[in-house]
Amino acid sequence: MSNDDQRQARHQRAMEKLKSHVDERVANANEERGQLLILTGNGKGKTTAAWGTVTRALGYGYGVGVIQFIKGEWECGERERLQDDPHLQVVTMGTGFTWETQNRETDRQACEAVWQDAERMLSDPAIYLVVLDEITYMLKFGYLDIDTVKQAIDARPVEQTVIVTGRNAHRELMAMADTITEMQETRHAFNNGLKARRGIDY
């Protein structure tokens, strides 16, 4: 057998093994329901990945709700691009939030107001995907109560998926999640003095 033939035979054996492993895992994954995904960690990519999934769901014509808990009046390229889609609802916290407002009471009220929209989405079976972007900070600052959030997520329609983003996700939310991805910061341009870029960072 030539070297090429030996290599081909080895490759074929490896692929057969891989295929039977993958087939077995596919056969075992037979539960179908909406899921809870948490995108957390200090690295870049949490909100980007959430919007990527929003686009994916909209691509099939599913209803999607996005709540932006922090980005107030900030620009957001994905929102610009997608907001005319009739299947998408986006609710953004009205105030310029936290380090800009520094007023706990008005921030808490702003949070409470968008949480009403979140609760409405979390009980609407026509919404296939709900994104709670940066909600982890609301829990951290004590503007939202963990039990209230857990209950709303728990009681959502069976087919509905929820994506939670933000650093330092609450351990009780982590305990409920089906998928948790921790973005790890290996390096970030910002730490070398590079300014956030329009269309790349927001």
Which parts of this chain interact with ligand ATP (CB under 6 A)? 42-48, 134, 165, 183, 185, 188, 190, 196, 201-202
CA–CA distances in Å: residue 75 to residues 13, 34, 95, 137, 201: 52, 30, 13, 19, 10
Fill in the DSSP letter of residue 115.
H
**Measured from the CB atom, is 30 or 184 closer to ligand ATP?**
184
Q: Is 74 in the active site?
A: no
**Measured from the CB atom, is 57 or 63 closer to ligand ATP?**
57
Q: Is 42 in the active site?
A: yes
Candidates 146, 155, 188, 193; CA nearest to 45 is 188
Q: Is 16 in the active site?
A: no
Q: Is 40 in the active site?
A: no
What, of Mg ion, ligand ATP, none, does residue 148 touch, CB below 5 to 8 Å by kind?
Answer: none
d(CA 41, CA 45): 9
Choosing from 7, 42, 103, 141, the catalytic residue is: 42
Q: Is 73 in the active site?
A: no
**Measured from the CB atom, is 29 or 196 closer to ligand ATP?**
196
Tell the smallest beta-carbon distance from residue 36 to ligand ATP (Å). 18
Residue pair 117/91 in contact (Cβ under 8 Å)? The answer is yes
Tell the smallest beta-carbon distance from residue 131 to Mg ion (Å). 10
Residue pair 138/68 in contact (Cβ under 8 Å)? The answer is no
**Measured from the CB atom, is 44 or 108 closer to ligand ATP?**
44
Q: Is 186 in the active site?
A: no
Annotate 121-160 with b (16+ C-beta within 10 A) or e (fewer): bbebeebbbbbbbbbbbbbeeebbeeeebeebbeebeeeb
What, of ligand ATP, Mg ion, none, does residue 190 touch, CB below 5 to 8 Å by kind?
Answer: ligand ATP
Choosing from 99, 186, 191, 192, the catalytic residue is: 99
Q: Is 192 in the active site?
A: no
Residues 6+ apart with CB under 8 A from 175: none
What, of ligand ATP, Mg ion, none, does residue 137 touch, CB below 5 to 8 Å by kind?
Answer: none
Q: Which residues are the active-site residues?
A: 42, 44, 46-48, 56, 97, 99, 134
